[in-house]
Amino acid sequence: MKSYFSLQWKRVMKVLPFVSVVTVVLFAGIAVVLSGLIIADQSDDKNMKLRIGVTGDTDNSILKMAIAAFQNFDESRFTITFVEMEEKQAEKELSEGGVTAYLILPDDFVEKAMRGEMEPLYYVTSAGATNIVTMFKNEITTLVTDVVVSSQKGSFGLQEALEDNDIADTEGWVDELAVEYVSAIMQRAKVLAVNELQITSGVRIANLYLCSLTVLFLMLLGLPFVAVYARRDRSLNVLLVSRGMSVGKQLYDEWLPHFLSLLGLAAVVFVPVICLSATSNTMLADLLSTQEWLRYMILFVPVLAMVSAFNLFIFEVGGNVVSATLLHFFAALCMCYVSGCFYPVFTFPRAVQAMERFLPTGLARETLMLSFKVDAAFYPVIGVVAYGVLFFAAACAVRTYKVRRWEGVCG
Amino acid sequence: MKRWFRWLWMLSKRLYKRAAFLAILLLIPLAVLALDAAAQANSGFIHVVLSQTDPADPISSALVERFMSERSLILFSYVDDPRAATDMVITGEADAAWVFPNNMEEKMDRFVTSHYTRGGVVTVVEREQTVFSRIAREKLNFALQHYSAPACYLNFTRDHVEQLDALTDEQLMTYFNDVEFNQELFLFRTPDGNTSVEVDNNYLMAPVRGLLGVLMVLCGLAAALFYLRDEEKGTFALVPLRRRGWVAYACLFIAVLNVSVVTWLALVCGGITTSAWLEIPILLLYAVCCAAFCLLLLRLCGSIRVLASVLPILLTVMIVACPIFFDLHLDLWIKLLFPPTYFVSAPFDGWYLLYMVAYAAVCVGLAFGIRRLTEWWRMQRTRKRKEKG
């Protein structure tokens, strides 16, 4: 039955040029995301800084001094930049991503605050924003409120004490206490004795993103082949079974060209990456060394063997182009989400992390991480191969059921 | 009217015969509920283990209780032994350990009275410095400020205001404690002034709305693939040509409308909504918008093979370009090319409801224009062949 293998090979070759274009575009999209994540994560101070606009009534000299002091002396200068601007400009920059958020100071904010009339500040973020600073905003603003209120209690407590005891504040003690509180806030970090052990988990977060997004890419790589493999008409399969070609052999002849084509497509996009990393001093060279990139590509073999078996299984279950597309995308998206392709896996609850280690996508990610993890156990590769065999067996079972049903319908 | 309902029923019935479509309708709310259940469990961007040298110390106990009870993006846990806390950091079970000393009040007072030179009150052990560890430390710093503020007030008063020396510390603190501020210092709002936009959900649930929007587009595209196949089979042969476009749109709209019902259920049950009733018009308009976008793609791609191949790129581009997981700060016009942007933004900015209508009108107009052009081109080609032949 060499001819069935040749037939499948030709079917794959027919769609390969188009699928190659789709693959390159898909790879480019995921590469953009990866580079964006890596740049955002770099520990370079410039890249980590968050810009927060300050708008409204910023003319007060005390406020200007406070902002300048925070910008030059405070611990937060490494992470946050406050930028004075008009509200319209702040709104524009917020929509373009120039600022993460902006504050609106009401009129005469400082003067009123010094009289004990604390008007609320508006903290403006874009709708549905999903970055880390926005997610932390509730926590940080609660704490800042706490600190400001405590400071105000001190200043106004002193003012009350002086008034109650008929003492005139000729020396400006209340203002001096307010300045003392600002000084205390700026020296707040000294209350901690910090011991940084400089132990990494062995995996840089950039490499974690690389492996996670590669898994996402490989999982979506097979989707353009749905029109080749998802079909309702089982008459050819029934005929082949009647001629002595088992369902398993048929699926193997379908799986092998699919697996080899996925490997070829992965090579088309990753070989230039390896060449670039070897020849130039780029972000790629920072991610992995050339040797690690080569190991990375070698580890694609078991991963793609599993992915191609998964694709065949889903296409068998789907039974037609549309159902197979829906099921494939939904299953791939759910598994990739839980396996840390979008959020790092350590941000998930422990129970989910424990489950994720046994998912095909989790094992695939662990397998790819072996390329740069020293002395790591090889169990992920065994897991990936086992899943590949399991998906293949499941595809055989589904095909057998459908062939028998087709025989029953037509026989 | 009867005819409309008959069409509605027939177009829905053909979808419910597809097991995969039914499976998706069932799986969407189940997946969201499962994720919501997972999101309720303890998780965080960084794991900090707390420990006290003296568990009876009131300040450290209050701090531990505060951190452990608050909902936070930092995962806090507690161990009795400070050495065990440090070991957890070394072994990687935790990212940082905060060890509170005994006699915290005395040590905080000393920190203040020494003009912040005798620091190092709380021991922080970290694996490595990251943006999360810095944010976590700021949380601790600001929390400790709450306890140093009274000491700062007392210390300053004793140092500078001799006229109040007659008062005891307790009497001075009465003035401090009697000052009340009963209002929020910060109010949150969006650029259009909407202040009631806080959706209290975990960061794990934050992208779910966007993903549901993408799934609705996916279902619309699946319906487009169904339609193309049915058109090949001649299912709509009896429908006049001039109405085929609207039939195509109706097929896609009905499919997306069905999915929007389960999406509404998923949003409400998962708590990912500002208002359950507000979601109904949003979802209706989004269904119109999605169907229009899918119709345009159907006309642009023209065949099952091309559309199925373009699908993964399109879905990936939507996940990347729309503000679902990441905000790559792309130009607004790029984000507005894809329907999920409108779905994600509509609950927070009412203008997006109008933008959805305009977007749908543009997509439908373009789709019909492309169809007219295609038909004209086919007619021209047929005419030229006839002239040659």
The string of pLDDT tens digits covering residues A311-323 is: 999 999 988 888 8
Contact flag B331-A96 (C-beta cutoff 8 Å)? yes
Q: Are residues A229 and A274 in the same domain?
A: yes
Which residues make beta-bridge pairs with A101? A52
Mean pLDDT of all residues in B175-181: 81
Q: Are residues A274 and A366 in the same domain?
A: yes
How far is B214 from B28, CA to CA, in rounded Å?
Answer: 12
Q: Which long-range contacts (CB under 8 A, 24 or more apart) does A140-146 make?
A: A140/B135, A140/B138, A140/B139, A140/B142, A141/B185, A141/B186, A141/B188, A143/B138, A143/B139, A143/B142, A143/B143, A144/B142, A144/B185, A144/B186, A145/B184, A145/B185, A145/B186, A146/B142, A146/B143, A146/B145, A146/B146
3-state helix, strand, coil in chain A (%, to 5): 70, 5, 20
Pairing type for strands A80-84 and A50-56 reads parallel
A91 band by pLDDT with thresholds 50, 70 and 90: confident
- Asked if A318 and A230 count as a contact pair (C-beta separation under 8 A), the reply is yes
Å between A169 CA and nearest CA of chain B: 10
Cα dist from B111 to A65, B118, B145, whole Å: 25, 5, 11
Mean pLDDT in chain A?
Answer: 81
How far is B142 from A271, CA to CA, in rounded Å?
Answer: 50
- Closest-CA residue of chain A to B108: A191
For residue A264, report the phi and psi dihedrals to the nearest 5 degrees.
Answer: -60, -45
- In total, how many domains does chain A have? 2
A191 DSSP assignment: G
pLDDT at A43: 47
- Closest-CA residue of chain A to B166: A165
Residues of A in contact with B89 (CB under 8 A): 197
With 80 as the cut, is the pLDDT of residue A35 above it?
A: no
Q: Are residues A78 and A157 in the same domain?
A: yes
pLDDT at B299: 92
In a domain, A67, yes or no: yes
pLDDT at A199: 66
Residues of B in contact with A265 (CB under 8 A): none
Mean pLDDT of all residues in A372-398: 89
In a domain, A197, yes or no: no
Q: Are residues A295 and A395 in the same domain?
A: yes
Residues of A in contact with B20 (CB under 8 A): 318-319, 322-324, 326-327
With 60 as the cut, is the pLDDT of residue B87 above it?
A: yes
pLDDT at B327: 67
Give the distance, in angstroms, between the CA of residue B57 and the centroid of all CA atoms in the same chain.
40
Range with the poorest average pLDDT among A183-192, B49-58, B102-111: A183-192
Helix (H, G, I), strand (E, B) or coil at A101: strand
Helix (H, G, I), strand (E, B) or coil at A314: helix
Of B43, B191, B325, the CB nearest to A126: B191
Q: Are residues B105 and B135 in the same domain?
A: yes
Contact flag B146-A192 (C-beta cutoff 8 Å)? no
Mean pLDDT of all residues in A7-20: 89
pLDDT at B83: 92
How far is B211 from A359, CA to CA, in rounded Å?
Answer: 21
With 80 as the cut, is the pLDDT of residue A142 above it?
A: no
- In total, how many domains does chain B have? 2
Q: Which tokens in the block code for residue B256?
A: 């997306």
How far is A365 from B189, CA to CA, in rounded Å?
Answer: 39
Q: Are residues B21 and B84 in the same domain?
A: no
Q: Are residues A340 and A358 in the same domain?
A: yes
pLDDT tens, position by position, B212-259: 999 999 989 988 988 988 888 888 888 887 888 888 999 999 999 999
pLDDT at A147: 75
- Among the three residues B166, B182, B213, which one is the final residue of a domain in this structure? B166
In a domain, B196, yes or no: no
Q: Which domain holds residue A261?
A: 2-41+203-410
Q: Are residues B76 and B155 in the same domain?
A: yes
Nearest residue to B306 via CA among B314, A259, B219:
B314
Task: Return all residues near A178 (Cβ < 8 A) that are at least 6 apart.
Answer: A114, A151, A155
Residues of B in contact with A398 (CB under 8 A): none
Q: Which domain holds residue B110?
A: 44-166
pLDDT at B138: 84
With 50 as the cut, is the pLDDT of residue A61 above it?
A: yes
With 60 as the cut, is the pLDDT of residue A186 above it?
A: yes
Of A124, A167, A192, the CB nearest to B137: A192
For residue A115, report the phi and psi dihedrals to the nearest 5 degrees.
Answer: -95, 0
Range with the poorest average pLDDT among A1-10, A19-28, A46-55, A287-296: A46-55
**Quick one: what percent of chain A has pLDDT higher than 70?**
81
Cα dist from A352 to A23, A345, A382, B336, whole Å: 31, 9, 21, 34
Count Cβ–Cβ pairs < 8 Å, chain A vs chain B: 373
- Closest-CA residue of chain A to B344: A128
Of A128, A176, A346, the CB nearest to B323: A128
Å between A243 CA and nearest CA of chain B: 31
A256 band by pLDDT with thresholds 50, 70 and 90: very high
Q: Are residues B361 and B272 in the same domain?
A: yes
- Asked if B349 and A60 count as a contact pair (C-beta separation under 8 A), the reply is no
pLDDT tens, position by position, B119-156: 788 999 998 877 778 888 888 988 888 888 888 898 89
Q: Are residues A51 and A186 in the same domain?
A: yes
- Asked if B35 and B208 count as a contact pair (C-beta separation under 8 A), the reply is yes
Query: Who has greater pLDDT, B2 or B125?
Result: B125
Å between B253 CA and nearest CA of chain A: 16
Sheet holding A192-196, edge to edge: A192-196, B122-126, B96-100, B46-52, B74-78
With 70 as the cut, is the pLDDT of residue A82 above it?
A: yes
Cα dist from B214 to A30, A220, B127, B287, whole Å: 17, 15, 38, 12
Pairing type for strands B96-100 and A80-84 reads unpaired
Mean pLDDT in chain B?
Answer: 85
pLDDT at A219: 92
B204 DSSP assignment: T
pLDDT at A47: 45
Å between A351 CA and nearest CA of chain B: 8
For residue A129, report the phi and psi dihedrals to the nearest 5 degrees.
Answer: -65, 145
Of A136, A187, A223, the CB nearest to B312: A223
Mean pLDDT of all residues in B275-282: 88
With 70 as the cut, is the pLDDT of residue A72 above it?
A: no
A65 band by pLDDT with thresholds 50, 70 and 90: low
Query: Who has greater pLDDT, A232 or B317?
Result: B317
Contact flag B129-A121 (C-beta cutoff 8 Å)? no
Q: Which residue has the tokens 């608050």?
A: B70
Show the CA angle centred on residue A366, arms to residues A360 and A370, nearest 5°: 140
Of B138, B226, B323, the CB nearest to A322: B226
